[in-house]
Amino acid sequence: MKWCILFAIIIFEKILFKNLNPQKVKNRRSKKIKYKEYNINQKLFGENYLIYNWQETSSETHIYVKSKTRTGICPSCNEPSNNYHATYKRSIQMIPMFRKTTYAKVLAYKYNCHNEKCEQKVFMEQLPFVFPSQIRSKELNLLILAVSLFMSNEGASNVLRLIGIKVSDDAIKRLYDSIEIKDEPDIESVGIDDVAIRKGQRYATAIYDINDHHLIALLKERTAETLKEWLKSHKKIKFVTRDRSSAYAQAISDVLPDCIQVADRFHLISNLIEKMRDIFKEEIPDKIFIENNQTLDSPPEKAKKLKVSPDSALLNQYKYDNSIPLNENGTLIHYENKKRNLDSKQYKEYAEKSKKNKR
C-alpha cells in the first residue's frame, strides 16, 4: 500500500512539473500568436533584386544587392538579350536610414548584344532605381534638389550632411546644370511669368505648360522683344495666362492677335489686396483713440495727477545728503569715476589722428 501511494505521488509531481515548466508555457504561448514575416525587399529594390547582406557602422549602412534578371535591353538598338557577358559592381548612395549614410552595393550583369548591326556589342544592365553612370539614386537626387531650392548650394550641402547625405556644393550645381528644358513647338496653352535670377538686378521669363505646369522655356530677359522671338516659333498657342505686365500683353497681341489672354489668379489677388490697402489708408485714420470702449474723435486729455499716491512713511526712510562719503573708520571712500576726461593725453591723441584722417 505504501509503495502504491509513493508511486502515485511521484507520477503526480512529474505531471505537475511538466505543466508548470516556464519554458513549456512560453513555447505554448508563442504557438498561439501567429506572426507573418513580411519581406520588404521588393518594396526597396523590386522583385528582380535580392538583398543578401547588410553591414552597419557608426555612421554608414551598406546594403548588398544582387540582380536576378535573366534578360537585358540594349540601350542602342532596344533588342533583348539573355547572353551573359560578365558581372559588375556599383556603389550607389541611397536615401539615408536613421541618419546614417546609406549605400547600395549592387552586383549586376553585362550582356552581349545579339544584333549584328548594333555597334554596342556589350551593354550593362539598366537599374530601375538609378540612372546610368550616376552614384546617387533617383529619389536621393530629387531630395537634394528639393532642399537646395530654398538655400544656397553650400548651405544645402551642410544641411544634408546633418541627415546623412554626402554631397558637395559643386555636385549640387552639376545636378542643376544637367536639367534639360525641352521646348514643345505644338503646345496650345501656356503660362508666362517673370522670375528673379538675382532679385532686383536680373530677371528672366518663365514659360510653362498650363496642363501639368512643367517648364517649357526660360528666356534670358523679361522684355517684349525676347518674348516676341519665342512666340514667332509657337504660332499654335491659343490661350495664355500671364501677369499684369504690359510688355507681355503687347508682345502677345502683336504676334498672336487671336490668342486669349487671362491674368493669373496670383497677380489678380495681389493687385486686389494692394487696392484695398490704399482704400483703407484713405478711409481709416492713422491713429484711433479708444476710451471706455468708445472711439474718440480727438485724443483724450492727459491726467495730471499720480495714479498711485506715494506713502509718506515709505519716502521718509530714504534720506539724502551731500556730505563726503566715509566708511566706519572715518576714511574717505574713493569711487571709480566713469566720466570721460577730454583733456587727457589719450583723447588728445585721438583728436589729432582724426584730424589727419579727414585731410
What are 293-347's pLDDT values in tens digits? 888 888 888 777 665 666 777 777 777 777 778 888 888 887 766 666 777 787 7
The strand pair at 100-112 and 60-67 is best described as: parallel
Q: What's the alpha-carbon Rg for the chain, to the nearest Å?
A: 41
Identify the band that residue 60 occupies on the pLDDT scale cut at 50, 70 and 90. very high
Q: What is the pLDDT of residue 111?
A: 93
Helix (H, G, I), strand (E, B) or coil at 254: helix
> What's the predicted TM-score (pTM) here?
0.55
Helix 224-231, helix 246-255: angle, nearest 10: 30
Averaged pLDDT for residues 109-131: 90
pLDDT band at 12 (very low <50, low <70, confident <90, very high): very low
Contact between residue 72 and residue 126 where contact means Cβ atoms under 8 Å apart: yes
Q: Which helix (H) or strand (E) holds 186?
A: none
For residue 309, the model assigns a pLDDT of 63
Smallest CA-to-CA distance from 68 within 49, 52, 55, 53 is with 49
* Percent of the chain residues topping a pLDDT of 90: 29
Q: Give per-residue pLDDT as tens, 225-268.
A: 999 999 998 989 999 988 877 888 899 999 999 999 988 788 78
In the predicted model, what is the mean pLDDT of residues 112-123?
Answer: 90
Q: Would you say 280 and 255 are in contact if contact means Cβ atoms under 8 Å apart?
A: no
| E strand or H helix at 34 | none
Residues forming beta bridges with residue 294, ordered by sequence position: 291
Whether 2 shows a pLDDT value over 50: the answer reads no
Whether the Cβ atoms of residue 228 and residue 254 lie closer than 8 Å to each other: yes
Mean pLDDT (the chain, rounded): 83
Q: Binning pLDDT at 50, 70 and 90, where does residue 21 land? A: low
Q: Which amino acid is present at 347?
A: Y
In the chain, the percentage of residues whose pLDDT exceeds 70 is 86
- Length of the chain as a residue count: 359
What does the pLDDT average to over 174-190? 86
φ, ψ dihedrals at 209, nearest 5°: -80, 130
Q: Under a CB-based contact definition with an 8 Å cutoff, are residues 242 and 268 in contact?
A: no
Task: Give dist(CA 168, CA 153) in Å, integer.
Answer: 8
* Whether pLDDT at 49 is above 80: yes
Tell whether the model's pLDDT for residue 282 goes beyond 80.
yes
